[in-house]
Amino acid sequence: MINLTNIFQSYILKIGPIYRERCKFLDYFLIHNTIVHNMRIFTLLFLLCFISLTTSCGRLAERFGGVPAHKCCGKRNPRIPKGEEEYVQEATRIMITYAEKIRKPMRFHLEHSYVYHDEIARKIDGFRMEFISQDIVEVREAREALVDLVEGFLEDVNSDPILAKNLPRPITPSDLEIYINYESYWTLYGDPLYVGWTLLQDGTAFYYAGDIKNRRIDYWHSRVEPYYKSYQTVAFSREAKNTEAFNNRQEGANKRESKVIGLQEMLYRDDIDANDLEHPYQHH
């Protein structure tokens, strides 16, 4: 009976000296790389655990020096830095209050607002407001709406006593960014030559027709003018209307007065004629 164990041992003894050095190097290489690989895996797991602990919401994150719970958890109200708490909140309140005040009379709905401010100097640099409207307007009406919106907001901001110390100077139209999107169905698909977009930026007013929302065309109808020109145009137009209305009222008052005078004269003449008439029975 053949002993396979002895044959295998004899074979190993013959080839052993040849591959002995290679086997030693291979064993060392495999063992060394396994240790390095395990160390890398352990290090990676440790880093993942540490990051998950220090970036998750809760007191454990604060203990490990990570992100506090009030900054990373969206379900809690964020804390406002003490340096921003008073004047930034007041500026935000003014914008929201003013937007609510003009929402019904002007039919503008505030979509987004932003306060530009310097955190170090604690000064307000400007405001940005974005409105949407379903109105169908021409350039004249869009200009009047922009002027009324800007002038009313400037009056509220510059007269606020809390913001007085945080304004380096009175806010002007150059400090405002106003976006008004007229998104009515008729402006989009019916007659795109009505105003579709109004923009005030750096003291310049832009009035774009509704075709600005059509990306297939290369040219958009628009009118660009300094804001003070828009203000002057609206002011002069309203002054002319008021003068015309005053003249019409004055003319109407003069007509009524002339009618009253004429009626009084007619009654006076009737009285004189009646007194001059001889009574038929005065001689009897």
- Once rounded to an integer, what is the mean pLDDT over residues 268-278? 54
Higher pLDDT, 212 or 111: 111
Structure tokens at 57: 């919401």
Coil, helix or strand at residue 238: helix
Residues 41 and 102 in one domain: no
Which pLDDT belongs to residue 11?
A: 53
Q: Give the pTM.
A: 0.59
pLDDT band at 22 (very low <50, low <70, confident <90, very high): low
Q: Which of 37, 57, 79 is the last residue of a domain?
A: 79
Task: Give me the domain span that covers residue 27.
Answer: 14-79
Helix (H) or strand (E) holding 201: strand 195-201
* Poorest-pLDDT segment among 100-104, 106-110, 122-126, 264-268: 264-268
Beta-bridge mates of residue 131: 110, 180
Which pLDDT belongs to residue 272?
A: 52
How large a percentage of the chain has pLDDT more than 70? 60
Q: Which of 53, 79, 105 is the last residue of a domain?
A: 79
Average model confidence (pLDDT) across the chain: 77
- Once rounded to an integer, what is the mean pLDDT over residues 89-111? 95
Distance in angstroms (rounded) separating the CA atoms of residues 181 and 2: 97
CB atoms within 10 A of CB 255: 10
277 pLDDT above the threshold of 70: no
Residues 50 and 159 in one domain: no
Structure tokens at 129: 């407001």
Residues 217 and 99 in one domain: yes
Q: Which of 55, 79, 103 is the last residue of a domain?
A: 79
Which pLDDT belongs to residue 75?
A: 45
Which pLDDT belongs to residue 9?
A: 52
Which pLDDT belongs to residue 235?
A: 95
pLDDT band at 3 (very low <50, low <70, confident <90, very high): low
Structural domain contains residue 143:
yes
Give 178-203 pLDDT, tens digit per residue: 999 999 999 888 888 899 999 999 99
Give how many domains the chain has, as a whole number.
2
In Å, how far are 84, 87, 95, 185 from 81, measured between CA atoms?
A: 5, 11, 20, 43
Which pLDDT belongs to residue 96?
A: 96
Structural domain contains residue 144:
yes
Helix axes 139-158, 82-106, angle to 10 degrees: 140
Dihedral sign for Cα 275, 276, 277, 282, please: positive
